[in-house]
Structure 1
Amino acid sequence: MNRSKVSKATLAAAAAVALALSAGACGGDGGNGGSGSGDGDKITVGIKFDQPGLGLKTPDGTYTGFDVDVATYVAKELGYEPGDIVWKEAKSADRETLLQRGDVDFIAATYSINDERAQKVDFAGPYLLAHQDVLIRADDDTIKSPADLNAKKLCSVTGSTSAQNVKTKLAPDAQLQEYGGYSECLTGLENNAIDALTTDDSILAGYAAQDEFKGKFKLGGFEMSNENYGIGVQKGSELKAQINTALEKMVEDGSWDTYVKKNFGPANYQNEPAPKIGVIVD
């Protein structure tokens, strides 16, 4: 039997069993105890809705980005066409809860694999190795190393630890400026209100690749941390192995390279080679 069809059948069966258990335990309280979609003909995938180049819901209601392309490829290998995918927003703070509750079948949302998260969910992958970096103006030749951020205005998105990590470990005299979101940081960078923005290089490249910002910014290339992006699934889910098989095929057939160039190319993102599936880079 075709493996992708087994995957679809597996999800459908799991949904039926879990739904029955939920109905018996909860007395029909309306909770979703099955797979993310609750429908064997659909698959529900968590992505970011607000990260250009990675996971973005556009004004016309379509979804674009590297994570979207990867998730679509994986879903195809599991037996689902693009029209069978139900996209669900997976904000950083909600990802484990979405998986544990069964609101989604899997999550591809700049989801860095770490020990704390791995206690709550399982990860397939990694499918991208990113690094913490900085984004600066294209004509800035004063920031050539993390130490050069001392006395510079460094943008921190409220609630993020990226800029604090830089200040604590690499540039103690950096002046942190907190903004509500990455778009505000980019505007501040463009208008000289700040000197640098820091987060994962893949996220920075996605923003810099937007039409309105092309040619205005560049990545520092500092590689201040390793961020292994994985696809999150419920703890103990057999989807982990099936997704890993899909990711291996995606790398082997050249689709991974195509997705990187398509989504990050305009920012001259110096990406790492495709990671070996199942191997975490410390």
Structure 2
Amino acid sequence: MAPTRRWRAAAAAPVAALSLILAACGGGSDSADESGSKATGIFADAPVAESLPEGSTMAEIKERGELVVAAALDAPLLSQQNPTDPDEVEGFDITLAKLLATYIIGEPKVKIVPPASQTREAMLQNETVDVVFNTYTITEERAQQIQFAGPYFLSGLAIAVPKGNPEGIDSIDDLAGKQVIVGANTPAVDYVKEEVPDAELVTFDTDPQAIQALAQGRGVAYVQDYLLLATDAATNDDIELATGALTAEPYGIGLPPNDPDFKTFVNEWLTKIQEEGQWAQAFEDSIGEVTGQDAPDAPEIGSVPGS
């Protein structure tokens, strides 16, 4: 299931970084404490790179002691901050980020910088962050500006509507001539324009803003990633899903441009956690907890244009 690397994040562009020495994973995994004691749970047996080339991006990250990650703080099941404990962020995306940190550093230490969807490429180009885990859909256009590892997950666009579906919407064709809510700089923008060119788009910078607008009737429907909409509907009684996934879109890990060695390294790590079971456990501890689904087959790395 799938769109953009990330748009649910904070709307204001790179806010001061939220520095988190995190190891907890969704589903009750344990964490390393501040004294650096050995991580347990999903991280206990996670792979760690045997050696890092001198002068490489990976070696620089290890020397720094933390992986700087652009990730949301408000994306349920993917990367969500605990409102009662700001140092606790859980979900599928952030667990994968911590697994990558473990592979590089030996510990799941990450520093989270919340992105806005329109700032992700810039954050990688100017080296504000090392990687982006932010439902970042791989596209050839984006791949001209940055690199993608993966894909690491497949999602797709779906339609959410106000509770009760007052307009009776059950397909994209039903949105013709109507006001439709979309996220700024997400795949939904082009998709709605192509499928129903006479629809009137109403854009918002963050997912919470879009959900609020939908509940208030400022659009008849909201087109966004199926997984994100499913979690929204599970936590908001004012909206519901009108369709399943209508498209197939690949999430990738955003990487800085012009560093092919780093891309190769991250893809090798992704292969390892798929083969050794951490990828599946990360899914089952987060998305699977809510959907009741077993982990699907991981998408083939390099299988889509731009990856």
TM-score (norm 2): 0.69
In 2, the alpha carbon distance for the partners of 1:109 and 1:243 equals 16
Matching residue's letter, 2:138: I
Q: Per-residue CA shift, 1:115-150, capped at 9, x if unaligned?
A: 222223222100011212212346438222111123
1:114/1:170 CA distance change after superposition, 3 Å? closer
How is 1:5-16 mapped onto 2 (pairs within 5 angstroms)?
A: 5-7=50-52, 10=53, 13-14=55-56
Matching residue's letter, 1:274: A
Q: Which residue of 2 aligns with 1:49?
A: 73
In 2, the alpha carbon distance for the partners of 1:163 and 1:186 equals 15
Aligned partner of residue 276 in structure 1, secondary structure: coil
Q: Which residue of 1 aligns with 2:113?
A: 88
1:72/1:206 CA distance change after superposition, 3 Å? farther
In 2, the alpha carbon distance for the partners of 1:5 and 1:40 equals 18
RCO comparison, higher one (Cα < 8 Å, 6+): 2
CA apart distance, 1:251: 2.4
Q: Which residue of 1 aligns with 2:298?
A: 274
How is 1:227-246 mapped onto 2 (pairs within 5 angstroms)?
A: 227-234=249-256, 235-246=258-269
- Kept in 2: contact 1:205–1:264 (CA 8 A): no
Task: Report the structure number with the largest CA radius of gyration.
Answer: 1
- Kept in 1: contact 2:80–2:90 (CA 8 A): yes
Aligned partner of residue 127 in structure 1, secondary structure: strand
In 2, the alpha carbon distance for the partners of 1:80 and 1:3 equals 6
TM-score (norm 1): 0.74
Q: Per-residue CA shift, 1:174-216, capped at 9, x if unaligned?
A: 3444445322332343354533111222332343343xx2695
In 2, the alpha carbon distance for the partners of 1:74 and 1:219 equals 36
RMSD: 3.4
Larger mean Cα displacement after TM superposition, 266-275 or 113-122: 266-275
1:241/1:57 CA distance change after superposition, 3 Å? same
Percent of aligned pairs sharing the same letter: 27
CA apart distance, 1:79: 3.4
How is 1:58-69 mapped onto 2 (pairs within 5 angstroms)?
A: 58-59=82-83, 60-61=85-86, 62-69=88-95
How is 1:151-166 mapped onto 2 (pairs within 5 angstroms)?
A: 151-157=177-183, 159-160=184-185, 162=187, 164-166=189-191
1:133 correspondence with 2:178: no
Aligned partner of residue 110 in structure 1, secondary structure: strand
Q: Which residue of 1 aligns with 2:208?
A: 183
Larger mean Cα displacement after TM superposition, 196-205 or 267-276: 267-276
Aligned partner of residue 278 in structure 1, secondary structure: coil
Larger mean Cα displacement after TM superposition, 253-262 or 142-151: 253-262
Q: Per-residue CA shift, 1:56-103, capped at 9, x if unaligned?
A: 334322222221011112222223312x22222233222222222233
Larger mean Cα displacement after TM superposition, 67-76 or 199-208: 199-208
User: What is the total number of aligned residue pairs between the two structures?
Assistant: 255
1:101 correspondence with 2:126: yes
Q: Which residue of 2 aligns with 1:263?
A: 286
Q: Which residue of 2 aligns with 1:79?
A: 105
Matching residue's letter, 1:13: G
- Kept in 1: contact 2:73–2:81 (CA 8 A): yes
1:47/1:167 CA distance change after superposition, 3 Å? closer
- Kept in 2: contact 1:206–1:263 (CA 8 A): no
How is 1:184-223 mapped onto 2 (pairs within 5 angstroms)?
A: 184-210=209-235, 213=236, 216-218=239-241, 220-223=243-246
- Kept in 2: contact 1:57–1:63 (CA 8 A): yes
In 2, the alpha carbon distance for the partners of 1:55 and 1:44 equals 14
Matching residue's letter, 1:50: D
In 2, the alpha carbon distance for the partners of 1:40 and 1:191 equals 46
